Amino acid sequence: MNEYNFTSQVRTVWWEEATDGRAVVHMLDQSLLPQQVVYLQLTHEQQVADAIASLKVRGAPVIGVAAGFGMALALARFLEERTAAQVETTPTEIEAHLSEVGQLLRQTRPTAVNLFWAIERMRHCAQQACKEDASPHHIAAMLKAEAHAIAAEDVQACWQMGLYGAELIADGDTLLTHCNAGALATTGIGTALAPIYMAAHTGKRVHVFVDETRPILQGARLTAWELQQEGVPLTLITDNMAGYFMRQKSIQAIFVGADRIAANGDVANKIGTYSVAVLAHVHQIPLYVVAPCSTIDLELPSGEHIPIEQRKAEEVTTLYGIPIAPMDVAVANPAFDVTPHTYVTAIVTEKGIIRAPYGETLRAICTKN
């Protein structure tokens, strides 16, 4: 599909049948990076749900892909158990099972809309197959194909976002990114990092400032790691240094991803993105949000309706399990914030670059599957 030589060969989530034919979802455990590169082999949907909730797999697009494979795995496993027990399975039972699995996966993380989008897409696929009177094993095969399609479309979308977004990068630019919106957050070359990779590999000299991204350091652990693997020059900074470098005129543009974009262009992304956006606005630095259409939630009129995940206090009070704050201190830990569309210079999707006013264009080009 593309000639881009992605040297690091990052693989986040994929499906592979074991030698005995059993379905297995393979997953890179991102919670251990960069110290350890460990791949998990998941054989139960509960393991997929736990992996999403505990950020072993994280980043909006790949959460959607993991949910798709999780649903396909759940049906394959269910049918295996039924066959072993010599019990026939009806389409109604399949739909009921997938509805339960959908509920399980929905409860993992509330903000990234790709999760809900993928679950609905998988359920819709099963409903269609059930209506057509397909056999249980045929329905399972269709679900597996649908999960693969979600992953393949993500690869393609990343590539397109890379092509479009690279137009916004000039030779010699120094860019800033927050959190990890790279290959690790997708099954392709990333969202916010895709234009950077594309620009670098077409000969533009780029340098990336990477916010460490407290509390759990997706920038320091993941973005720095994958940029280094790809040979893209970077400087790691703490989050509170971003303003200093913007004021020094060291940064020409900011590229971030998104977990959910409301119909008016308001963007939910990793906590701290809003602060970066306000600073960028003050310093007149363009802020580009790079996200596939599966991240756009046309049902929400504005960002204030986006559910914000609140995570546990230990993420703030400890670092790698070591306490850094007084015992029993009160803590707030919202995992995402919302950047108003007025601070967003453009939204780069796989269908093109969108500029304000966002509402109509987003609706026109991002009709859901």
Task: Sheet with 260-262: list strands edge to edge.
Answer: 296-297, 260-262, 267-270, 336-339
270 is in an annotated binding site: yes
Question: H/E element holding 226?
Answer: helix 224-230
DSSP bridge pairs for 353: 348
Parallel, antiparallel, or unpaired: how do β-strands 322-323 and 318-319 relate?
antiparallel
DSSP bridge pairs for 26: 14, 41
For ligand MRU, which is the closer residue by CB, 191 or 345? 191
In the complex, least distance from residue 7 CB atom to ligand MRU, rounded to whole angstroms: 20
351 is in an annotated binding site: no
For ligand MRU, which is the closer residue by CB, 140 or 348? 348
218 is in an annotated binding site: yes
For ligand MRU, which is the closer residue by CB, 54 or 99? 54
In the complex, least distance from residue 117 CB atom to ligand MRU, rounded to whole angstroms: 13
In the complex, least distance from residue 185 CB atom to ligand MRU, rounded to whole angstroms: 3
b/e for 295-324, b at 16 or more Cβ within 10 A?
A: bbbbebeebeebebbebebebbbeeeeeee
The pair of structure tokens assigned to 101 is 């699995």
In the complex, least distance from residue 79 CB atom to ligand MRU, rounded to whole angstroms: 31
Q: What is the dihedral of CA 103, 108, 111, 116, to 10 degrees?
A: -30
Question: Is 259 one of the catalytic residues?
Answer: yes
Whether residue 55 contacts residue 3, with contact meaning beta carbons closer than 8 Å, is answered with no
Interface with ligand MRU (CB under 6 A): 55, 58-61, 112, 179, 181, 185-186, 191, 218, 257-259, 269-270, 335
In the complex, least distance from residue 306 CB atom to ligand MRU, rounded to whole angstroms: 12
- Collapsing DSSP states into helix, strand and coil, what is residue 359? helix
59 is in an annotated binding site: yes
- What is the Rg, in whole angstroms, of the alpha carbon atoms belonging to the chain? 21
Question: H/E element holding 51?
Answer: helix 45-53
DSSP bridge pairs for 318: 323
For ligand MRU, which is the closer residue by CB, 25 or 76? 25
160 is in an annotated binding site: no
CB-nearest residue to ligand MRU: 257
Catalytic residue chosen out of the listed positions 259, 266, 297, 337 = 259
Helices (H), 292-357: 314-317
For ligand MRU, which is the closer residue by CB, 136 or 340? 340
Active site residues: 259
- Could you list the residues known to form a binding site for substrate, using ranges: 58-60, 109, 218, 269-270
- Could you list the residues known to form a binding site, using ranges: 58-60, 109, 218, 269-270
